[in-house]
Amino acid sequence: MKFENSKYSKLLRNSKIEFSFGTFFFLDKFIISELNEGIHFNWDKIEIVISAIAEHYGDNFKVGFISNKVNSYSIEPHLWVRFYKEYDFVLASAMVTYNPFGYKNATLEKHFSEKSLKRCKSLEEAVDWILGLEEFKLQESN
């Protein structure tokens, strides 16, 4: 299910950013990505997104990240290693998959992630998990 078709698009404040390769939704505590069918999500595209994220959230922010895999696309899993080496704003990630092949790919990507990464079968499961993260509860108490 696409984010815009979910109950959360109306319940949670969000900003929609569209790129030629996909759509991103910036919410208070997390980001949702929905990449386009057939694209290859490479480092150049990652840097374009990071620039938009930094512009939106400013300095010293922490967010969760949900990859809502409503389309089939490719990414080199080792890019996660580079991402975490260069950027430290993602507390944890969730990947929503809609078929067995997507779940297997998410399992592969999980091995390259230095942060907690949950594989989910619905957007609702992913949002609930992200919003329940201890890291957010600790931020709120500080």
| pLDDT tens string 1-15 | 999 999 999 999 999
61 is in which domain, residue-wise?
Answer: 3-141
Q: Does residue 136 have a pLDDT over 80?
A: no
Q: Which amino acid, 13?
A: R
Determine the average pLDDT of the residues in 116-125.
92
Output 81-89 pairs: Cβ under 8 A, ≥24 positions apart: 81/112, 81/114, 82/43, 83/46, 84/113, 84/114, 84/115, 87/50, 89/53, 89/57, 89/61, 89/62, 89/63
Give residue 116's pLDDT.
Answer: 79
Q: For residue 93, what are its two tokens?
A: 């990630």
Predicted confidence band of residue 141 (pLDDT cuts 50, 70, 90): low
For the chain, percent of residues with pLDDT exceeding 90 = 67
Domain count for the chain: 1
- CATH number of the domain to which 69 belongs: 3.30.750.24
Examine the pLDDT at 19 and tell me if it is beyond 70. yes
